[in-house]
Amino acid sequence: MKTDFSMTIHGQAVAGTRGTFKVLNPATEETVALCPSGSPEQVDQAVAAAAEAFKTWQYSTDATRVAALNAIADKFEQHAAELAEIITLEQGKPLALARFEVGGAVAWTRYTASLGVPVEVIEDSDVRLAELHRKPLGVVGSITPWNWPLMIAVWHVMPALRTGNTVVVKPSSMTPLNTLRMVELMNECLPAGVINVITGEGGIGSSIVKHEGIRKIVFTGSTPTGQTIMRNAADNMKRLTLELGGNDAGIVLPDADIDKLAPAIFQTAFLNMGQTCAALKRLYVHESQYDALVEKLAEMARAQKVGPGMEEGVTFGPVQNRDQFDLVSELVEDARQNGARIVTGGERIGDKGYFYAPTIVADIADGTRLVDEEQFGPVLPVIRYSDVEDALRRANDNPNGLGGSVWGSDIDKARAIASRLECGTAWINNHAEVLPHCPFGGSKMSGFGVEFGQDGLLEYTQSQLLNINRG
């Protein structure tokens, strides 16, 4: 893996005027590489470069944009092994999962290239022709998290480019390296300034959000940060797409085939070591199957091979950073102190790296921090219920509303309950599945706006009605 990383502004490699900072491997706590530390002045330069590029990119043809995105997808495929290795070393996930992330980024890029920007005819009569056109917004600011660093950057950037916008992207300081490399590769396929990247440890995100030259912010991350972005974006009325925190509930109905469904429940709760916004984070199980399902999930947790992501056969990597590791530990300890039963896990593994054993917590109830708060880590609280209506009420009694799920054999019954969940996506016999053609977004404190599909693409545009008088 390369060890010299630069920011990219107007197609040129740029060092940070504030020097560099260390990017740590969460499996070893050792330095992976040094990352350039940019400044607010360099944010200004990146926005200026994007604004200059927008003058021509906004008028590029559909064919030009489609060809550019497909060329980018080709470039990602050619460098798939390199990108996956960077992801594993800085994020921690097993290499197989990092390869999956790169493959997903390629597929999402190609799908976005296939989408079109429609012109809607509102009226076509003897007196007038009224057409609704969609125009790009301008410079888009993208701020990405550390859990799926390449995939989420692609989710933000590709629809912006497809609709004729230009971009300044700022990755998490925990996982900036793959985004720096991603933008280098993209600049081999795009005019200078169309995509720029700035990295830094503090204040850079705020500079982007407040910048008068940026017309839209797309952000994936915590609800408190999303609230701050909303406040700071008000001065020039920036458009916003905010995908924020989730505390997704799943309800297992009494008729569920738990032998069949348990593996999917485990996988969707512990995807990426539980560090996924729409992972299943609270599981409500009917008392008739509670003990049996708890034990099945515990068996799967015990079967995981925990270790550094680059090691052969590892299925479970570390928590990505010290702060998140400490929060997970704190929430489990609080549950233990409040009488919950730690069925398996509940402890650190080893003395180096942020490894936390896959953990199943039983005999726990709402009102406990582990249930009420988003753990965003390798822990699943399993809550007993006796009445489905009560389980539904408890599932909805949370400020977040990203996703939810219902698990059962009677699909009609499961569908009726799922439709009453207060969340942006309700799955039946699945969870955490996001697809490039299906709009995805949150409700309540989990944000607003959608990503993916035609609806997600149009979030990067503004409408203009063309009204032609034929009278």
pLDDT (0 to 100) of residue 180: 98
Encoded tokens for 331: 């929430």
Look at residue 258 in the predicted model and tell me its pLDDT: 98
Average pLDDT, integer, range 54-72: 98
> Which regions of the chain carry the CATH code 3.40.309.10?
248-435
Give the mean pLDDT of 380-388: 98
Who's near 92: CB < 8 A, 6+ residues apart?
25, 26, 27, 273, 309, 317, 318, 319, 320, 354
State the alpha helices, DSSP H only, in 320-405.
322-337, 369-372, 388-396
Residue 431, pLDDT > 80, answer yes
Phi, psi of 205 (to 5 degrees): -60, -40
For 340-358, the pLDDT digits (tens) are: 999 999 999 999 999 999 9
Q: Is the pLDDT of residue 142 over 80?
A: yes
pLDDT score recorded for residue 1:
76
Residue 449 is predicted with a pLDDT of 96
Range 70-80 average pLDDT: 98
Taking residues 130-159, what's their average pLDDT? 98
Mean pLDDT, residues 438-446 taken together: 97
Give the whole-angstrom CA distance, residue 361 versus residue 379: 7
Q: Is the pLDDT at 471 greater than 90, yes or no?
A: no
| CA 457 and chain centroid, separation | 16
Report the percentage of the chain scoring pLDDT > 70: 100
Q: Tokens in use for 68?
A: 């550019």
pLDDT digits over 221-252, tens only? 999 999 999 999 998 999 999 999 999 999 99
CA–CA distances in Å: residue 140 to residues 11, 65, 327, 368: 17, 16, 32, 40
With 90 as the cut, is the pLDDT of residue 2 above it? no
Is 243 known to be catalytic? yes
- How far apart (Å, rounded) are the C-alpha atoms in residues 217 and 121? 29
Pick the CATH number of 248-435 from 1.10.3720.10, 3.40.630.30, 3.40.309.10, 3.40.50.1820: 3.40.309.10
Give the residue-averaged pLDDT of 412-427: 98
Among candidates 308, 309, 358, which has minimal Cα distance to 94?
Answer: 309
Choose the catalytic residue: 101, 243, 374, 459.
Answer: 243
What is the per-residue pLDDT for 63? 97
- Three-state SS at 252: strand
**pLDDT, averaged across the chain:** 97
Q: Is 438 a catalytic residue?
A: no
Q: How confident is the model at residue 442 (pLDDT cuts 50, 70, 90)?
A: very high
**Placement of tokens 């410079």 in the chain:** 139
pLDDT category of residue 417 using cuts at 50, 70 and 90: very high
Q: pLDDT at position 202, please?
A: 81
83 closest CA partner among 158, 186, 182 = 182
Residue 116 binned pLDDT confidence (cut-offs 50, 70, 90): very high
- Residue 203 — very low, low, confident or very high, per pLDDT cuts 50/70/90? confident
Which structure tokens are listed for 359?
């953990």
The torsion angles phi and psi of 149, rounded to 5 degrees, stand at -65, -40
Q: How confident is the model at residue 3 (pLDDT cuts 50, 70, 90)?
A: confident
How far is Cα 396 from Cα 389, in angstroms, rounded to an integer?
A: 11
Q: Does residue 210 surpass a pLDDT of 90? A: yes
CATH of domain 7-244+446-468: 3.40.605.10
Half-sphere exposure (Cβ direction) of 403: Cα atoms closer than 13 Å: 26
Average pLDDT on 71-95 reads 98
**Which of 470, 467, 469, 437 lies closest to 133, judged by CA?**
467
**Which segments of the chain belong to CATH 3.40.605.10?**
7-244+446-468
Q: Active-site residue among 85, 184, 277, 459?
A: 277
Pairing, β 359-362 against β 20-25: unpaired
pLDDT of 137:
98
pLDDT number for residue 439:
97
Residue 15 scores a pLDDT above 80: yes
Average of per-residue pLDDT across 7-27: 98
Q: In sequence order, what are the beta bridge partners of 248?
A: 280
**Residue 191: what residue type?**
P
Give the whole-angstrom CA distance, residue 124 versus residue 41: 50
